[in-house]
Structure 1
């Protein structure tokens, strides 16, 4: 594949007041090796992802939403990130470009955001709010027009304020710094918190106002969620260990350990012993298709282990491809057949599968080391 200019490079080279203009030659993928394009031959992963994107777009409704079950705003946001992670640009005059533009317009409808909060109208609560906020940070500067980019920026600014205000709610000490199902919740869990953490870090990278204290407080919560106690220096007493759904639980799971690994990295703690310990735990406890919340966990696993590099990245790349390509349907989509995930539908599983496999392409800033 040809080397491309990333959106972070685009934003740093060509922005005006935080909102990129439309119609610039920088918008979209810029090839530095056009003469080599014809030499590229898609492999089995590329073909699987391509089939997955087509299957995902078959779920798009006339109003632009991409959701075959509930939580339409959140599911459409996941689908938007899946499209963007393979290089689709909303300003492109192509079927995928137009589909992406229509999906973004659906999310930006004023009725989907209540006082900055995206989780009320579609019932997705803070899960959906974090997902949608992250999507907006990842598409900022990639809109199809000046007007759309401005609306992305405005919606994102209000959404970040909700996340910061929710984090500041008074909570027990071991719950401080995290988030739960509703903006006013007085407890926290890792599954909800990781989305808010990724959204805050991505927003900060976009140049938006995110206080350093918000990231530091999130790290404190993540440390409380690690399943080994820490000594005075912050080093786990049991080096190889993982993360739990809530503080005080000492049984790590695949999904939560992958989530905690990525969250710590997202907060900039790449060299933390919690990161190396979680990566080592994941090498000892590889993913299985019957894991609880398998697709959800693979999304974190693929990104987090990629950031670790070395054996962790090589193992995760191999297992992510093997496991996900094995369970892709003949129609090109993914759908879970186990547990609670079975109720979330095609758009959910397919978007997460594409995002997991899409780490390879490096189009989204969250995938870049």
Structure 2
């Protein structure tokens, strides 16, 4: 059908409509007129050439009544949906996700592997990331295709919250604050997305814990108000606070001011690179485990994102210098995994999306390519990403897939915002 109809109708504009709707097809052609009917299979648009029907499968973009949206599924969207399907299929019976034991949910005769093992101590953190991946796709416990999955995950997190408000506080690892940060982020996102009041008090208690844990006038690390700070933990709790603020939970400005002081303290003014605990350090490693991986500027990406969340302008010279430095380390997938770091790619994508300018498009292009080309396409692993990167011996396949999905969702957000406008 449809290519011939599009060609005939394209750019015929002898009579202009007072309120023009636009239908853009996969081959870049545009129909301008008035949409008079939409069904699951086709869209009917009245143009100057007459009334035309266009298959939904041929449509990429629609503007109607001043509202813009992607109509068809992009490659990014398909990859996200495949990833969410994989996460849903590998959810534990208790509602959480297990970095170490997720494969018990694999199809009979097929096993998704963690080639480098995984840690059992951060299951609450990866559960938070997985839930966030669903909610950022508008799949909640009330809407979408994964309502039961999301409901079970949220219930799991709520059950793990103690009387003080901490989620995932554990004596088994001193780094349990990551559990709390990502769980708080997920609960606050669910609260924002659904306005379900059952999340109000748990979110408020979780946020209060974060506020009390901040070192006075500075940042955060593993122990609440323990005197130590690091850029990674600080970025993660700021993600949670950003979501909390969106949910209407009060976060005093002095909290952000302290964090900004920390980032200033860790930033090398000559290069813009940000350290893990001081200027010039090359980030965190597990000695004897992942020291061989490329030293990527993950903390710089964390700091750019966090500075912007704290209210600093993307045009601030220190942010610009850090952003330019980050562009020297674009995401690259190598089969040995020495350059693969999903944690870095996630933070870098967040940073460049909010920073914008020419940096974002360059980052977007290479990141999307790396993720789409290397997503598993067959078997039980379909939709996931092989855990071959720097931190995948901690979070395993579940974490690599959740972070990759969140990264693609940032890319998809931009694709939606630019649909029909040219890129």
In structure 2, the residue matched to 1:200 is: 241
Contact 1:178–1:189 (CA under 8 A) maintained in structure 2: yes
In structure 1, the residue matched to 2:166 is: 117
Q: Where in structure 2 are there 5+ consecutive unaligned residues?
A: 1-34, 44-54, 60-70, 101-119, 284-295, 415-423
What displacement does 1:323 show?
1.4
> In structure 2, which of residues 390, 395, 407 is the aligned counterpart of residue 344 of structure 1?
395
Contact 2:368–2:411 (CA under 8 A) maintained in structure 1: no
Whether 2:319 is the aligned partner of 1:275: answer yes
Q: 1:83 to 1:225 in 2, by over 3 A?
A: same
Contact 2:268–2:274 (CA under 8 A) maintained in structure 1: yes
2:97 counterpart SS class? coil
What displacement does 1:141 show?
3.7
1:23-76, CA deviations, whole angstroms, 9 ceiling, x for partnerless residues? xxxxxxxxx999469333323222211111111111112221123332222111
Structure-2 separation of matches of 1:34 and 1:159: 47
Contact 2:139–2:145 (CA under 8 A) maintained in structure 1: no
1:246-268, CA deviations, whole angstroms, 9 ceiling, x for partnerless residues? 12435574211111111111111
Structure-1 separation of matches of 2:250 and 2:279: 32
2:234 counterpart SS class? helix
> In structure 2, which of residues 252, 277, 280 is the aligned counterpart of residue 246 of structure 1?
277
1:82 counterpart SS class? helix
Q: For 1:215-226, what aligned pairs fall within 5 Å after superposition?
A: 215-226=256-267
What displacement does 1:291 show?
5.4
More helix by share: 1
Q: 1:139 to 1:33 in 2, by over 3 A?
A: farther
In structure 1, the residue matched to 2:108 is: none
Q: Where in structure 1 are there 5+ consecutive unaligned residues?
A: 1-31, 170-175, 229-237, 364-369
User: TM-score, structure 1 length as denominator?
Assistant: 0.77
In structure 2, the residue matched to 1:255 is: 298
Q: 1:153 to 1:34 in 2, by over 3 A?
A: farther
What displacement does 1:320 show?
1.2
RMSD across aligned positions (CA) = 2.5
User: TM-score, structure 2 length as denominator?
Assistant: 0.68
Q: For 1:127-276, what aligned pairs fall within 5 Å after superposition?
A: 127-143=178-194, 149-168=196-215, 176-228=217-269, 238=270, 240-249=271-280, 251=282, 253-270=296-313, 271-276=315-320
Q: 1:104 to 1:251 in 2, by over 3 A?
A: closer
Q: 1:152 to 1:195 in 2, by over 3 A?
A: same
Whether 2:117 is the aligned partner of 1:76: answer no
> In structure 1, which of residues 26, 48, 53 is the aligned counterpart of residue 79 of structure 2?
48
1:168-217, CA deviations, whole angstroms, 9 ceiling, x for partnerless residues? 35xxxxxx511111224221110111011122233223221211111111
Contact 2:125–2:182 (CA under 8 A) maintained in structure 1: yes
What displacement does 1:316 show?
1.3
Q: 1:241 to 1:184 in 2, by over 3 A?
A: closer
Structure-2 separation of matches of 1:142 and 1:338: 31
In structure 1, the residue matched to 2:155 is: 105
Mark the structure with the bigger radius of gyration: 2
Whether 2:346 is the aligned partner of 1:299: answer yes
4+ aligned runs moved over 6 Å, structure 1: none
Q: How many residues align?
A: 310
